[in-house]
Amino acid sequence: MGYFTDPNNNFTIYDAPKGGGSTVRAWIYYAGTGNLHLESLNVDGYYSGGSDEPRQLGEWGYKLDYFREVPGERVCIKRDPVSRFISCYEDKIIKEGKLNRIGIDPLLDNFEHILKTNDHPHLQNTSVGFMWYHFAPQTEIFGKDVEYYTHVFNLSEVGVGLKSYLEGKWSIELPDIHCRKNSKRRIELTDEQISKVKEIYSDDYKYGWF
């Protein structure tokens, strides 16, 4: 979540929460060490990087933060905001029990206030609120200009287009993985709820992050 700059290959890759970041970080770790070192989260086949991954990636240039401009090629992974909201709600609220498993309607009706007033600092960047960062519009992480990016991949292209891009940059073959795939969707939004989500993430639709 955030962005990783590879100065040796002159590119930066940005990812938003619930937008393929766990897989990207696993590939970065693999490119640097030759190992995946994944740990099972014991939930629907979810996997995440090992305990050493955040420290190691931080030393290599991975930053958890909001949008910053950088030189060189820029790559990002976008996701439809409704699908991303559902995934984040299922991950953080249902599975991890954050916000006392608040219902969807109360959350949507007072979205920003609830997330920001019941938040805590992220361990990897204490100036960033953990919950707000996960649910924040992609615009806060990618900025407002799609043309800023050399390549924009959809989430569905992570295992093909993005993987090929990274393999070309690093001159290696990356393993086929999908670290936090949600195989059992638990909720379906009503039309009214979808409208509220689209309003909350209106900037993402405005600036092309869908």
Q: What is the pLDDT at residue 140?
A: 98
The mean pLDDT value for 63-88 works out to 97
The domain limits of the chain are 2-207
pTM for the full model? 0.90
Q: How far apart are the first and last CA of the chain?
A: 17
Q: Band the pLDDT of 183: cuts 50, 70, 90.
A: low
Model confidence at 14, pLDDT cuts 50, 70, 90, reads very high
Phi, psi of 126 (to 5 degrees): -70, -10
Q: For position 43, what pLDDT does the model report?
A: 53
Q: What is the mean pLDDT of residues 174-183?
A: 74
Pair 43, 174: CB distance under 8 Å: no
